[in-house]
Chains A and B, each alone.
Chain A
Amino acid sequence: AQKVTQAQTEISVVEKEDVTLDCVYETRDTTYYLFWYKQPPSGELVFLIRRNSFDEQNEISGRYSWNFQKSTSSFNFTITASQVVDSAVYFCALSEDTNAGKSTFGDGTTLTVKP
């Protein structure tokens, strides 16, 4: 069985602070995919990144960066110089299937960035 744990239920920071959202996963498969999604108050799910289990290279996209560590089964997400528009619920998800739409989601972390 697969499981995704986002231990941080809510995080509140002041604008321009850096913030890291934690994600720990469990799976028995050697091939799997990890995702991060953003859900703003409007409700839609915005895809942020996908990582496959064979690619441990960290990734940076603008103010966003992701740290994938297979040794600790973690896939953490850092926002640098946070902005108010980053306020949202962030979900980490795991797919053991090549069909990435079938995923197990963590409970989400609500990030509030205050001006």
Chain B
Amino acid sequence: QLQLQESGSGLVRPSQTLSLTCAVSGGSVSRGAYSWTWIRQPLGRGLEWIGDFYHSAGTYYNPSLRSRVTISLDRSRNRFSLQLTSVSAADTAVYFCARGEPYVGDYATEYYFSSWGQGLPVTVSS
């Protein structure tokens, strides 16, 4: 059974870079069929998609974060990572990693999140 586990600093200073890693066990990040995704939830607010990595199609990012975010894969360590630069208090949230599993939708291939990490709280504060 696939398991995902987020790790990284739980406290980041304003204007610095948030760096998180998602360790994958029970499966390989090198398998090409899936998406490798980051999602976050600010306290008291709804979930927000950050971005995806696809082997076949590269990366896709939320337009509101695109200028600051990078998602990458580390095949040798079977994990994927998130970097978010120039953070502010608005980036304080619980950060989740997830694997997207493809299925055939009504019009195109779509993805549902079959596996998630438990979430990592990150606070941006001086």
* A, B bound: no
